[in-house]
Structure 1
Amino acid sequence: MNYRTILVHLDHSDRSPLRGAVAARWSRAHAAHLVGLVPTALHDGVIPADAIATGMSDYIAESADYLRRRAEAIAREFRASIAASGPLSYEVRLVDGATVDAVARHGRTSDLVVLGQDDASSRNDTVVRALAEQVLLEAGQPVLVVPSAGDAFEGMPKNVVVAWDGSREAAMALRAALPALRQGVRVTLVSLRHPRDEEQAQRLLVPEMIQYLLRHGVNARAESGVTESSFGDALLSRVSDLGADLLVMGGYGHSRLRERIAGGVSRQIFSQMTVPVLMAH
């Protein structure tokens, strides 16, 4: 697998320019075509309270005009950033559909969807919540989620942690990440288990996975750990300890309802990530 088309969601949030820069960097590194998708939010139904002057005779028309102008400004900023950073095959798409639907639909025509962690700077005037989570479940393509804090994402990932639990989702995420793993300098396959799960090691087929990666040009090492705490806490701790700059993992191994009730690892990573996360479902 190679990344031939990468899509990035652009909006008016503070982190959107950084997200666009990360997507452009990945596109250049993988010789991919970049699509900047700008949903106008017209069908999301909420705009800033002070965006439209009082006394307007046609509030709906004025609101639509405001949202369109805001989207065009985002697109201009994105084009300017691409022009300033060097040659790249890219396009910008302005779409009027509901944000989740638009990103999921257009995401299906790409190899990788770049999204942002839920960003407090956009919460006052949008109904979109947990966009990355919803797109992951609906687009059918892997997503790269950029954290809402920090800016140490200058280069391509060189120190990658792969969360490996032997699941279908973990296998899909690992395969989706192969182009990035090939460019990594250090790739660590991390497997975690609870103290009472003695049989997990045999189920994971770690030596076989290491050989699989080697045949794909990825020289990885494996480590296993036992934790009494949640897998999410332990995984984030290993990411920090290893100084990783990318986490690869499967998302939502159970139904979304069960994950919400049980407090799934995926949901914890979405809320507490400190490095970009490449996730597949």
Structure 2
Amino acid sequence: MIRDILVNLTQGAERDPAAHYAAALAGAFKAHLTGLAVTYELDVPPFYMGALPTDFIDQQIRDNEVAAEKAAAKFTAIATEAGVGSSVRTLSASLGEAARSFAELSRLFDLTVVAQPDPDRPGPEEVIAEAALMDSGRAVLLVPYVQKPPFALNRVVVAWDGSRASARALAESFPLLHHAKHLEVFSVRRHDDDDTTPAAADLERHLGHHGLSANLRHLVLGSGESVSAAILNEVSDQGADLVVMGGYGHSRLREMVLGGVTRDILESMTVPVLMAH
């Protein structure tokens, strides 16, 4: 069940797509929505501080405070318009500290929503999203920075590779999958890969015990085609409203940076993606 949702509030943008999407989602599930507004502290090495004019530092601090206040006010208006119960949490911290705090906070929410980083407007979203995905222990729902349609689950696709991360993403997505009108589950592999994904029958059995039916497919990569490209093409072909996926890639080392496929999806996603590490 989804009854408690957390969203990181985007600052400095005309529209906060994550807040709008999270509010619509909260309305659909009759969930409470909490927005986190961060006043980002200046992260300047001490030996540089003396070279910066006091007036400049004071103005930057005030600008950051105003940005957080505006984001909080905008969020409250969005939640009120959506008719959902909401609250705002505030935090004053450096970007690194804010990311760690957000990941820790996420552990006590049913679902965490973060905006996709906007390449044309550098901001904290990438660091926040990575920390939540890698360190919260929960799934994270990433919303495209160009997202305009409200929350909908007409068609959901699940990218499945049988990994721990895929299993976690699938398990945490069940409340959402039960609202999907059409469910597509697919695995991706190369021609020369051993078929190590669990048998389709087992996956179908597991979904069936949860009252879910899905179209299960295997996608074989074409020559020179990447896993991320195959996923994005499938999403486009299916006209999906949501993608559910774990971490793809061949590395078995846990890194505090996103893997290649995950980063590709994060950079190129055009619909919301529920990810788990």
TM-score band, normalised by shorter chain: 0.7 to 0.9
Aligned in 2, Cα 1:172/1:10: closer, same or farther, shift over 3 Å? Answer: same
Aligned in 2, Cα 1:28/1:19: closer, same or farther, shift over 3 Å? Answer: same
Q: 2:243 corresponds to which residue?
A: 247
1-structure distance, mates of 2:173, 2:65? 35
Aligned in 2, Cα 1:58/1:14: closer, same or farther, shift over 3 Å? Answer: closer
The answer on 1:137 being equivalent to 2:131 is no
The CA deviation string for residues 245-273 of structure 1, in whole angstroms up to 9 with x for no partner, is 1110002664354987xx62111111111
Indicate conservation of the 8 Å contact 1:100/1:128, yes or no. no
Structure 1 residue ranges without an equivalent (≥5): 47-54
Q: 2:69 corresponds to which residue?
A: 72
The CA deviation string for residues 91-139 of structure 1, in whole angstroms up to 9 with x for no partner, is 001111233123212212212110111113541xx56644322320011
2-structure distance, mates of 1:57, 1:249? 47
User: What's the C-alpha RMSD, in Å, of the aligned pairs?
Assistant: 2.5
Letter in 2 for 1:30: F
Aligned in 2, Cα 1:256/1:122: closer, same or farther, shift over 3 Å? Answer: farther
Q: 1:82 corresponds to which residue?
A: 79
Aligned in 2, Cα 1:109/1:232: closer, same or farther, shift over 3 Å? Answer: same
Report SS of the residue matched to 1:40: strand
Aligned in 2, Cα 1:259/1:11: closer, same or farther, shift over 3 Å? Answer: closer
The answer on 1:212 being equivalent to 2:209 is no
Q: 2:4 corresponds to which residue?
A: 5
Indicate conservation of the 8 Å contact 2:107/2:137, yes or no. yes
Q: 2:49 corresponds to which residue?
A: none
Report SS of the residue matched to 2:16: helix
Question: Cα offset for 1:4?
Answer: 2.0
Aligned in 2, Cα 1:91/1:43: closer, same or farther, shift over 3 Å? Answer: farther
Q: How many residues are paired up?
A: 264
Report SS of the residue matched to 1:177: helix
Aligned in 2, Cα 1:9/1:127: closer, same or farther, shift over 3 Å? Answer: closer
Aligned in 2, Cα 1:57/1:172: closer, same or farther, shift over 3 Å? Answer: closer
Indicate conservation of the 8 Å contact 1:13/1:121, yes or no. no
2-structure distance, mates of 1:192, 1:95? 41
Question: Cα offset for 1:235?
Answer: 1.1
TM value normalised by structure 1: 0.85
Report SS of the residue matched to 1:248: strand
Letter in 1 for 2:13: D
After alignment, is 166-175 or 21-30 more displaced? 21-30
The CA deviation string for residues 210-231 of structure 1, in whole angstroms up to 9 with x for no partner, is 1211221222120112113211
Indicate conservation of the 8 Å contact 2:165/2:246, yes or no. yes
Letter in 2 for 1:166: G
Indicate conservation of the 8 Å contact 2:130/2:257, yes or no. no
1-structure distance, mates of 2:15, 2:110? 20
- Correspondences of 1:156-171 after superposition (within 5 Å): 156-171=152-167
Aligned in 2, Cα 1:231/1:110: closer, same or farther, shift over 3 Å? Answer: same
Q: 1:146 corresponds to which residue?
A: 143
TM value normalised by structure 2: 0.86
Q: Percent identity?
A: 35
